[in-house]
Amino acid sequence: MAELSPLSPTDAPSEARAQRVRDSGRALSLSYGHNSHSAGEGPVLVAMCPDSGRLVVVYSPLERSENSSAPYRVDEETGEILVDPDFEQWKFLENRRRAVRRSRSRLQDYVVANRLSKMWTLTVAHQEWGRDRAAFLREVQRFMVKWEKLEGKKFPYAYVLELQERGMWHAHILVPNEFYTDFRRLTKLWGHGRVRFDRSKSFYDGSKRACRRAAVYLSKYLSKGWDETVPAGQHRYEVAEGFQPDRVSFRLESFKEAWRFIDQIKGYRRAFSSEEVTNWNGPPVEVYFNDDDVGVVAA
């Protein structure tokens, strides 16, 4: 009997295969109960980060329905349970997308909670180690330690590495809005190439809304240059320790109950709903932001 083998992540599926992948995704999404979203029914998980003003409501049943077994079939000769390789390919890609989404959410929470809105970029002139992600990361880490010594204190920051077309890595770093550091001092501190202040990607009022925009810019680089060549266990982004915002999560019995809770705490506006996305393959979800900046003073 011929075995079903999982597809390589780099395999380009035919249109027929691509359609089967999409069908597998839709079959899986049936188990999430999209009709429950419209009716406001079904158990949900509420996850929020008060410091960044982000709140997520997602349909989260304790058990999946029988439809979730759709990608599997039984071999009639041996009785083995086989996994459709097209579904395995879809699951691999979906897991990778989910990892990016999770990293994006956590990075944006950190950036907004710590009011990071000024972006700097580190580049490497021509050193060969600039093509090695691990070696470049070590140099950036050393640079951040020296920068803290220059400021005379620890401070929150976040950075993401980007692979340039010429094969060299560079780093995008967000720091607090009130920071002013002369680029010539930072260039000397870095010592491996240019240090550039990205004026067009920086925002100066220190508000949550401004920091959220800066975080969106930084998040764009989370998946760029990230493929199977990056060793397992590597972070998609790096942040300063000791500045992580608090997060809370809890379960409610329905979307209706979550909506009542959001009305009570006030200030949150809905920014996204999966109901507005055609062919959404996943659990119903809504995202809310609170951009109330009482007490924030512009630098």
CA dihedral 106, 241, 205, 50 (to 10 degrees): 50
More confident residue, 7 or 255: 255
At residue 103, the pLDDT reads 85
Q: Are 110 and 53 in contact (CB under 8 A)?
A: no
How far is residue 50's CA from residue 292's CA, in Å, rounded to a whole number? 11
Using only the alpha carbons of the chain, give its radius of gyration. 23
Q: Helix count (H) and strand count (E) of the chain?
A: 7, 12
Residue 219 pLDDT level (bands cut at 50, 70, 90): confident
What is the chain's mean pLDDT, rounded?
76
More confident residue, 179 or 288: 288
Mean pLDDT (whole number) for 145-163: 92
Class of domain 117-239 as given by CATH? alpha beta
139 token code pair: 């140099």
Q: Is the pLDDT confidence value at 299 over 50?
A: no
Residue 163 pLDDT level (bands cut at 50, 70, 90): confident
Percent of the chain with pLDDT strictly greater than 70 = 67
Tokens 């809005």 appear where?
177
Where on the phi/psi map is residue 244: left (φ > 0), alpha (ψ -120 to 50), or beta?
beta
How do residues 44-69 score in pLDDT, each as one tens digit? Answer: 999 999 999 999 999 987 654 444 44
Beta-bridge mates of residue 55: 48, 288
The model's pTM:
0.74
Q: Is the pLDDT confidence value at 171 over 90?
A: yes
